[in-house]
Structure 1
Amino acid sequence: MADNATAGSTAQNSDLRNGVTHIVWDWNGTLLNDTDANLASVNRLCAEFGRDPVDLDYWRSIFRRPLIPCYEELLGRPLTDGDWQRIDTTYHDHYKGLLPSCDLADGVLEVLRAWNAGGGTQSLLSMASHDHLVPLIADRGLTEHFTRVDGRRYDAEHDSKAEHLVEHLRAQDADPAATVLIGDIDDDAHAATAAGAHAILVATGMMSRTRLEATGHPVAETPAEAVAMLYR
């Protein structure tokens, strides 16, 4: 990636691919390296439902939104409302216990600082609960890097980030055409397309690189590489 001085000069001269000046970051699997915690939590609920544990490659091969069909495939049967509540509670209780052990992805702080120093702006949008997300970002000292931090405030009809992204950009009066969403699953790409924004996907989270490449959007190995792709 370009060093801070180069990044600053580039952004200030608007020498950016597609005129992108604003980044919307995803959180889980993108800025936060929580893949192991996610898999451990999935396997905790597998045990709860009498299913054999799965490995990361398998989970990356089936994970998707909407979540209910995904978990129905995992568990091999339709889910009742009571099943879904049990899954939600089991997963999140275990995940929250592991969360303190999750680090930021490599180079994240440097990337966030460099983008701001170069005159760009950035915000954070996650499908994690808003009330859970906001204090977590504050506790890690990251709030100052973002113009806005939004988690999921309601359940969208199609369990997609698309509707949330449109509102997230509107609340900031951000131009979608000058925005890139950097995330780790194909729903991030779908959301960006629906909102009229660009997307770069990182192969660090819950989907395999093959599935990410199938979206037709650029795929990076790290958040730092994703930002480097924004420069001509």
Structure 2
Amino acid sequence: MKKISKRLKKAKELILKQEYSAEESIELLKRTATTKFIESAEAHLCLNIDPKYADQQLRTTLVLPKGTGKTLRLAVLLSEDKIKSEYKEQADIVGSNDLIEKITKGEIDFDILISSPEMMPKLAKLGRILGPKGLMPSTKSGTVSENIEETIQEFKKGKVEYKADRTGIVHLNFGKTNFSNEDLLDNLLAVYKSIEQNKPSGVKGKYFKNFYICSSMGPSIQLNLTNLKD
């Protein structure tokens, strides 16, 4: 059995109730984030879905109102005739066939790849390179778009993709522990509302099983779902 560190043991001692309101849980999350670095704030939601069925799958995006707290490098792939100077000012990398060539050579110096639809057939051959890294553009993740400028702005503002894993659990970062309580709460409620609004059509009965948050190195804190619905 893995030994619990003194730091984590002390953090767990701060959790005195089984469930907390959203406001209380945010306050507690920040108190249990005791490492020397700035931790991520994580949300983990267990849903009453079975993703092996097409009508019970959940995969979509949302823009966190207060951002992610991360600086992401954006790359944009377009046909040569669609490249504009403003794209080069907004994104970190903008290219066409030259960018595809760099990716083929393993030169991947970006966190998100946005592509126009006409370039997707050319990217198909790079699935083995981009797929395992989670960088292959797709319509579901919002990274295949005709409106390049709007898409760049959305990701810079805090657009994130999430999906339920094969056990029906959604894992999602909703900020950093150095955010204000108010900003973390705004992001947390946005996560809850997005998952609620994108409820799969095949769900029968209760949708949410339980909802936990934690810092990336801290203990889990269970939220009172009734409180969230008010």
Q: TM-score, normalised by structure 2?
A: 0.29
Q: Which has the higher contact order (CA 8 A, sep 6+)?
A: 2
Greater per-residue helix proportion: 1
Q: TM-score, normalised by structure 1?
A: 0.29
Specify the structure having the higher radius of gyration (Cα). Answer: 2
